[in-house]
Chains A and B, each alone.
Chain A
Amino acid sequence: QKEVEQNSGPLSVPEGAIASLNCTYSDRGSQSFFWYRQYSGKSPELIMSIYSNGDKEDGRFTAQLNKASQYVSLLIRDSQPSDSATYLCAVNMFEGDSWGKLQFGAGTQVVVTP
């Protein structure tokens, strides 16, 4: 069973629309959640972190966390062609005697069409 799950996509979004990305995780005790953006051939780049239930907004990005449902999402408002990338969800997991394991989902590819 995968510990962090995302729809692989591609998610096709018209320019100017809202892109909605979802992520579910298996470890009920997880406390830290991150969204990364990765352009083709490049390294992952952090765009959002969220630690508490509710919404967190940063520019055109909004992260939403629901720990009871073990669900974290990312909304991209006013999508631009430059938002075309793979978006990776990452969650910290308990391993051994620490919360050291940062587990990634397989990523959702987003394609913004003009």
Chain B
Amino acid sequence: NAGVTQTPKFQVLKTGQSMTLQCAQDMNHNSMYWYRQDPGMGLRLIYYSASEGTTDKGEVPNGYNVSRLNKREFSLRLESAAPSQTSVYFCASSKTTGHTEAFFGQGTRLTVV
């Protein structure tokens, strides 16, 4: 079982460039999440989608947009990358919103130079 799959695994961007991080899950989960992880900061929620067709801001949404394309896929877009967005990004999914276990993808290590 693939679980939660993120692409790409690594990416280097120049300041001002845009890119989309892709995430897909094959567990028929309703809820999906995007987190970023910086040293000493733990996981911070960027956006989440409680169900297909809905998205909500998390703790650190500025500079990001998301799309819940269908039940399986939830993408994160950086419109104009900044060095402050250098981080490791994790996508996760859970059966229902917040009340059930979340499962994580392998992460995307993004560097903005």
State how many residues of chain A have any CB contact under 8 Å with chain B. 26
Contact A100 to B48, CB < 8 A, known contacts A44-B43, A88-B42? yes
Is A100 touching B97 in the complex (CB atoms < 8 A)?
Answer: yes
Hey, which bits of chain A sit against chain B, CB under 8 A? 8, 31-32, 34, 42-46, 49, 88, 90, 92-93, 95-96, 98-107
B40: contacting residue among A8, A42, A93, A99, CB under 8 A: A8
Is B101 touching A46 in the complex (CB atoms < 8 A)?
Answer: yes
**Cα-based distance from A103 to B41 in the complex (angstroms):** 12
**Cα-based distance from A8 to B42 in the complex (angstroms):** 10
Q: Which residues does chain B contribute within 8 Å of A88, judged by CB atoms?
A: 42-43
Hey, which bits of chain B sit against chain A, CB under 8 A? 31, 33, 35, 40-45, 48, 50, 56, 58-59, 90, 92, 94, 97-107
Is B102 touching A102 in the complex (CB atoms < 8 A)?
Answer: yes
Give the shortest distance, in Å, between B72 (CB) and chain A (any CB): 19
Contact A98 to B50, CB < 8 A, known contacts A44-B90, A88-B43? yes
